[in-house]
């Protein structure tokens, strides 16, 4: 599928797209870009870094869009939310066992 971002929509793991279809969670192209970056995370990261990574591929994505997708992924067991010590910085880390192909 070609998108208005002039690049193909990202390929997501079949287990993830199947889960979304089963639970009637619509995957727009923006959400697909966000989910792709979340699933690619190798380490724990914060919202701003994740937003910047998504922005490299999809400039029309706001921080609130990234946050909403992260919240859904946390509620459904794809991502874990952690608070980092005294700085009270919220960090996110992927839970790889849910999306293995």
Domain ranges of the chain: 14-98
- Judge contact between 88 and 50, C-beta under 8 A: no
Instruction: Report the predicted TM-score, pTM, of the whole model to 2 decimal places.
Output: 0.78
pLDDT at 19: 92
Closest CA to 10 of 47, 42, 54: 54
pLDDT at 2: 44
Q: Which H or E run includes 93?
A: strand 89-94
pLDDT at 85: 66
Taking the chain (101 residues) in consecutive chunks of 10 residues, what is each chunk's mean pLDDT?
Answer: 61 91 91 89 86 82 90 90 73 66 42
Q: Which CATH number applies to 14-98?
A: 1.10.10.10
CA 10 to chain centre: 12
């Amino acid at each position: 599928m070609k998108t208005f971002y002039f690049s193909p929509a990202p390929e997501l793991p079949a287990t993830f797209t199947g889960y979304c279809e089963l639970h009637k969670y619509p995957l727009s192209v923006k959400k697909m870009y966000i989910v792709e970056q979340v699933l690619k995370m190798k380490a724990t990261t914060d919202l701003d870094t994740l937003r910047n990574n998504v922005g490299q591929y999809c400039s029309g994505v706001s921080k609130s869009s990234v946050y909403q997708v992260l919240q859904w992924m946390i509620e459904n067991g794809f991502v874990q939310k952690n608070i980092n010590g005294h700085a009270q910085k919220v960090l996110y880390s992927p839970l790889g066992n849910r999306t293995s192909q």
